[in-house]
Amino acid sequence: MLFGATGDLANRKLYPSLYRLYKKGKITERFAVVGVARRQLSNEEFQNSVKESILTYIGENVEIDEFISHFYYHSHDVTDAASYRELKTLAEGLDTTYNLDGNRLFYMAMAPEFFGTIAESLKSEGLTDTDGYKRLVIEKPFGHNFESAQELNRRIRTAFAEDEIYRIDHYLGKEMVQNIEVIRFANALFEPLWNNRYISNIQVTSSETLGVEERGRYYEKSGALRDMVQNHMLQMVALLAMEPPIRLNTDEIRSEKVRVLRSFRTMKVEDVKDYFVRGQYDNGMVDGVEVPAYRNEQMVAPDSNTETYVAGKLMIDNFRWAGVPFYIRTGKRMAAKSTKIVVQFKDIPMNLYYNTKETLNPNLLVIHIQPEEGVTLHLNAKKSGQSMTTTPVRLNFSNKSVDRMNTPEAYEKLLYDSMRGDATNFTHWDEVALSWKFVDTISEAWENAKEESFPNYASGSMGPQSSEDLLQKDGHTWWPIEEFDVDNC
């Protein structure tokens, strides 16, 4: 049952993902999708809308009529008990028609202020009274601070147990994010070196060329800190920093991620300026097109204090990572669309090639997450010729260019996992709570102090100068993401 069935997320991601699962045989003929939304539509109109979505975003029509015949529509008022009872009658009929054994997956793809109301109503009107499984899949944002997240969790837990709640972070469905564990725990080349004795720093970048587009009203309330850092960025740091789990199962992996989040160095409000900086984009050129400043976007205040860029230094105070900075940065209207992780290893104790008047490049492990997917290892080797001079070389693996693979969309993986009952790549409440507690301190510091320098970076750049200064204080610099594109390796 998909709440928000006429929305953008459903059309761009969810329907194409369900179709791909159907084509691959991951979903059998024993399935039904009930689209739930306020708009008045007939079943036929809804099915045609799903078909158009698939043709638009996938461009295939193989078995598409059979696929969309499993889709049904229910016009719904989320505050009306009678509407839930009608939905229950429809669901019970589909259980019989398709022999579904009472298994029900409720997907919340709508405004977050309705999450609690819907969950409570599903319980009170009997939709969760079923002989099969019942699971609730929730899109972000899960609250806007710790207190609101805690209250939302309390309401949802009245209808669903923790192991029935699947909080989506679509970054956790990305192929190379899931590959972080394999790179670390399946290679003797890396795991013995994965600590403060051999790693100098780790940099996580997630940059976008797009601005806020039509999302100004939402973005004014969230900003880059709540939109990206609290979930996606901290989740990637947790995967990079966690201890090897006892077993590769849901509970053990989540437990190790929680330990990382608990190990983040605690900041007071007055300390935030030493660890985090913010930015807001000005007008500029992106891909040869003049674009407006954030304050000139639709539904944005002309004196907005909202950040569109965040860079920060995370210190993890445990035995493995003491002294190693994890740098993160994310922003809109930047020079390139890219999500990358750069692991910089420490320099060797002595440069035997100092007579060549060349500086040895550090060894780097680059994990490319999007738009390209792959891994690059940066080494030093002998330059061809008679002299013993060195040159940097790159060992590269790319999912797309080497294996010719079209890796599954993140939502395809996560939808399939939620049907199978595998919650490994969804966030547990403990992770959400600790992330909000960490981010709330930064929010408090920034909301109580207006940033006079805004706007402080041009569209089409890689962020404000204060971001560079943050690393330079530690003797480091951001590695240029364009240089690490798989196609350039």
Question: Is residue 427 a contact partner of residue 421, using CB atoms and an 8 Å limit?
Answer: no
Residues recognised as catalytic: 232
Question: Is residue 249 a contact partner of residue 163, using CB atoms and an 8 Å limit?
Answer: no
Q: Where are the beta strands (DSSP E) in 61-169?
A: 71-75, 104-108, 134-138, 165-167
DSSP character at residue 462: S
> Degrees (nearest 5) of the Cα angle 267, 271, 275?
85
Distance between CA 215 and CA 219 in Å, rounded?
A: 6
The identity of residue 230, as a single letter, is: Q
What residues contact residue 205 under an 8 Å CB cut-off, 6+ apart?
328, 329, 330, 338, 339, 340, 341, 342, 478, 481
Question: Is residue 441 a contact partner of residue 274, using CB atoms and an 8 Å limit?
Answer: no
Nearest in space to 142 (alpha carbons), one of 470, 443, 430, 469: 430
What residues contact residue 342 under an 8 Å CB cut-off, 6+ apart?
202, 203, 205, 364, 365, 366, 479, 484
The neighbour count for residue 258, using CB atoms within 10 Å, is 18
